[in-house]
């Protein structure tokens, strides 16, 4: 079968090649790969910035945003041939730490976890793959065109769960949400905010175009810009920061209403310094009972929440998030830089 593989640590090694068919182990599903989504992590991986091959191997199958169709399932499992599934990315560390031992491997304390397509486990960008039944999540058949969004949506579902758990420390009825960055994570965070009945604002550098149209399409308000100055008066109750841009991260900390929550989902590249008044930030957070927290990854519960959130959303809107579909035969094109109006690129593993 064909798979999209690369050599972690070596730039320019990504290619489509023949690899042995996977063999279904005990308790595993055999799955026909349908699509994989491509994100910034994949671009870092092929740029040799990141990634570890399976032990004893030099190459690894890439791809962690998966959607496939079950070909074979173990007797007595909850899965049947023909059903759509997404595979969970992370596996608990073998020790395991206290979090991993409780199924909270997204919160692993010792970094000993492994990840499909990223860290020591083959990814999902192949014509067939296997997954343990306990790390597969059912996806409604109606979501076949957009099911690769389950993984990015799981990151967002976890962010929302964490926000709600933090909010539960006291009276919590947020009304307004600001999302910074209108990439796939930001747009999905805005969608889940609208599903919770919030007034949602999305800030992005892009001018009017697909992103503003997508934001307006869920009844949220689009703001084109690169500063939070316009939110200094009517401060939002919640901010989900998805850009990792230093000045936005810093400004977010002082731009929430009292008891505000800032959720950091974006990743900064580092290497740039910004002059900040630490005293102002300190006073704002303390005197307003604010919380600033970071979040990454998701566990099984978050994947299920994500699949449910996508099933509730407007399918035509989700389809507009996927702006490029590249056949596996031309998979390298999926990694070429795309313009501002590109949101999500997926590789069609059946073409």
**Positions that interact with Zn ion (CB under 5 A):** 93, 97, 100, 108
Nearest residue (CB) to Zn ion, 95 versus 351: 95
d(CA 67, CA 50): 23
Nearest residue (CB) to Zn ion, 120 versus 288: 120
CA dihedral 250, 252, 257, 262 (to 10 degrees): -110
**Smallest gap from residue 22 Cβ to Zn ion (A):** 26
Phi, psi of 325 (to 5 degrees): -120, 115
**Smallest gap from residue 160 Cβ to Zn ion (A):** 23
Nearest residue (CB) to Zn ion, 110 versus 269: 110
Nearest residue (CB) to Zn ion, 55 versus 111: 111
Count the neighbouring beta carbons within 10 Å of the beta carbon of residue 292: 17
**Smallest gap from residue 236 Cβ to Zn ion (A):** 34
CA–CA–CA angle 212, 213, 215 (5° rounding):
65
Please compute, for residue 310, the number of CA atoms within 13 A of its CA located in the half-sphere on the CB side.
30
Q: Report the relative pairing of strands 176-180 and 199-204 from DSSP bridges.
A: parallel
**Smallest gap from residue 106 Cβ to Zn ion (A):** 10
DSSP-assigned beta bridge partners for residue 138: 85
**Smallest gap from residue 282 Cβ to Zn ion (A):** 32
Nearest residue (CB) to Zn ion, 16 versus 108: 108
Record the tokens describing residue 220, joined without a space. Answer: 């949220």
In 3-state terms, the chain is what percent helix, strand and coil (to 5)? Answer: 30, 25, 45
Of 68, 73, 66, whose CA–CA distance to 84 is shortest? Answer: 68
**Smallest gap from residue 158 Cβ to Zn ion (A):** 16
Nearest residue (CB) to Zn ion, 119 versus 201: 119
Q: Do you know the residue count of the chain?
A: 351
Nearest residue (CB) to Zn ion, 108 versus 210: 108
**Smallest gap from residue 99 Cβ to Zn ion (A):** 5
All residues at 6 or more sequence positions from 133 whose CB lies less than 8 Å from its CB, including other chains: 27, 28, 29, 73, 74, 77, 78, 79
């Amino acid at each position: 079968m064909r798979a999209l593989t690369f050599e972690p640590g070596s730039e320019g090694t990504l290619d489509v090649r023949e690899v042995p068919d996977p063999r279904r182990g005990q308790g595993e599903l055999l799955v026909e790969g349908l699509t994989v989504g491509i994100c910034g992590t994949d671009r870092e991986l092929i740029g040799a910035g990141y990634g570890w091959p399976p032990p004893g191997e030099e190459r690894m199958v890439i791809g962690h945003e998966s959607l496939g169709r079950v070909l074979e399932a173990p007797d007595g499992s909850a899965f049947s041939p023909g059903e759509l599934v997404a595979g969970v990315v992370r596996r608990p560390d073998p020790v395991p730490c206290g979090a991993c031992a409780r199924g909270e491997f997204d919160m692993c304390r010792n970094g000993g976890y492994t990840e499909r397509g990223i860290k020591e486990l083959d990814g999902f960008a192949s014509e067939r793959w296997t997954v343990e039944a306990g790390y597969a999540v059912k996806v409604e058949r109606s979501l076949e065109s957009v099911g690769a969004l389950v993984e990015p949506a799981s990151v967002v579902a976890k962010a929302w769960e964490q926000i709600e758990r933090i909010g539960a420390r006291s009276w919590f009825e947020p009304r307004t949400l600001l999302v910074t960055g209108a990439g796939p994570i930001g747009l999905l965070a805005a969608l889940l905010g609208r599903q919770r009945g919030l007034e949602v604002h999305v800030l992005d550098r892009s001018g009017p175009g697909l992103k503003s149209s997508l934001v307006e399409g869920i009844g949220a308000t689009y703001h084109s810009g690169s500063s939070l100055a316009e939110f200094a008066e009517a401060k939002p109750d919640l901010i989900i920061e998805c850009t990792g841009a230093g000045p936005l991260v810093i400004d977010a900390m002082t731009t929430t209403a009292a008891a505000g929550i800032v959720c950091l989902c974006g990743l900064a590249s580092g290497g740039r310094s910004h002059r900040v008044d630490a005293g102002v930030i300190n006073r704002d957070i303390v005197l307003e009972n604010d919380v600033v927290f970071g979040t990454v990854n998701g566990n099984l519960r978050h994947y299920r929440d994500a699949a449910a959130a996508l099933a509730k959303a407007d399918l035509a809107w989700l389809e507009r998030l996927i702006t490029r579909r590249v056949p596996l035969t031309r998979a390298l094109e999926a990694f070429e830089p795309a313009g501002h109006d590109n949101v999500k690129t997926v590789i069609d593993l059946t073409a």
